[in-house]
Amino acid sequence: MGLAMSYLRVPPVLEGERDPGRIAHLIFGSSDWRAGRPAPQILDLGGGWQALHYLITGDPWDGRQPEADVVCGGRLITEDGAGELGMDVIYLAPDRVKTAADHLVSTPYGRVAGRYDPAAMAAAGVQDAAGLTPDAGALRPAYEELTRFFQAAANDGQAVYKVMAERA
């Protein structure tokens, strides 16, 4: 099974609400939270999220800001698992979205591709690393999508909510 990660770009104030926790419950309180949202506001990384985090930071979970903010960084709003929302939600404020976007834009894939080592990633406990192909370009499309997503969110002054849930 494992975890899957999705991202959602959201204005810092939604329906007059400023509290990220309340915004998370407004949005993710419905199982069809994706419905009606424009495609460019949602990014699904599926199970590849941790491999991307490793590529960006060199670590399966940690790292320095702003690199770590791209995937694992931010404020954990909920730790529900199978609770009220059925997912974990991580909030990344617009100022941190901006610095993460700037980092991604200034760090082309070629600068992080050297960390792509499926055997080392598997040894570090990266989810699904054992199934990665030996091709160092395998994560390039997802990295480039993340870059565009963060750049668009930063340009619009938006926050990013990251949702982690069990994948089917």
Check residue 11 and give its pLDDT.
95
Residues 46-57: tens digit of each pLDDT = 999 999 999 999
Collapse the DSSP code of 143 into the 3-class scheme (helix H, G, I; strand E, B; otherwise coil) and give the result.
helix
Q: Hey, what CATH class is 3-166 in?
A: alpha beta
Residues 12-22: tens digit of each pLDDT = 999 899 999 99
**Residue type for position 63:** G
CB atoms within 10 A of CB 52: 21
Q: How far is residue 109's CA from residue 10's CA, in Å, rounded to a whole number? A: 26
Q: Could you state, in order of their start, the residue ranges of all structural domains in the chain?
A: 3-166
Residues 44-88: tens digit of each pLDDT = 999 999 999 999 999 999 999 999 999 999 999 886 544 577 789
Give the predicted TM-score (pTM) of the model: 0.93
Check residue 168 and give its pLDDT.
65
Check residue 43 and give its pLDDT.
97
Check residue 82 and give its pLDDT.
45
Residues 109-122: tens digit of each pLDDT = 999 999 999 999 99
Q: Which helix (H) or strand (E) covers residue 90, if one does?
A: strand 88-92
